[in-house]
Amino acid sequence: MTVEFTEWAKDILQRADAGARRLNPDARVRLVRSGPVMEATLSDQPGPEDDVVSIGAATIFVERGLEGLVDIEEPHDRLVLKPLGSQPNIREDHD
């Protein structure tokens, strides 16, 4: 697995993990291929081809074969997979 995470993506994934576990203590975020893009789903357990990754207090499942930089795009804090070596997106303050 060659997946890296921006600090912004780590923050969003940790928040998503905490929110999911409030509703279902077994729920975890799972990053999977969906055609040409990556998407985040919820799952109670990893798939047979998933790697288990810790990000802070969060545990997420990452489908094997995903490769790149997990980052966030506006609007709505959308997770995206960019090529390895890409520049992280700029996080704008919304204060």
Tens-place pLDDT, residues 50-59: 999 999 999 9
The predicted model scores a pTM of 0.89
Task: Look up residue 21 and give its DSSP letter.
Answer: H
Flag whether 95 is in a domain. Answer: no
> Distance between terminal CA atoms of the chain?
36
- Looking only at the bridges linking them, the beta strands covering 58-63 and 28-34 are parallel
Flag whether 68 is in a domain. Answer: yes
Flag whether 94 is in a domain. Answer: no
Flag whether 17 is in a domain. Answer: yes
Task: Look up residue 47 and give its DSSP letter.
Answer: -
Flag whether 91 is in a domain. Answer: no
Flag whether 86 is in a domain. Answer: no
Is pLDDT above 80 for 74? yes
Domain count, the chain: 1
Q: What is the CATH number of the domain that holds 28?
A: 2.60.300
The span from the CA of 50 to the CA of 73, in Å, is: 24
Flag whether 90 is in a domain. Answer: no
Q: What is the pLDDT of residues 29-38, one digit of tens each?
A: 999 999 888 9
Tell me the residue range of the domain where 15 lies. Answer: 2-81
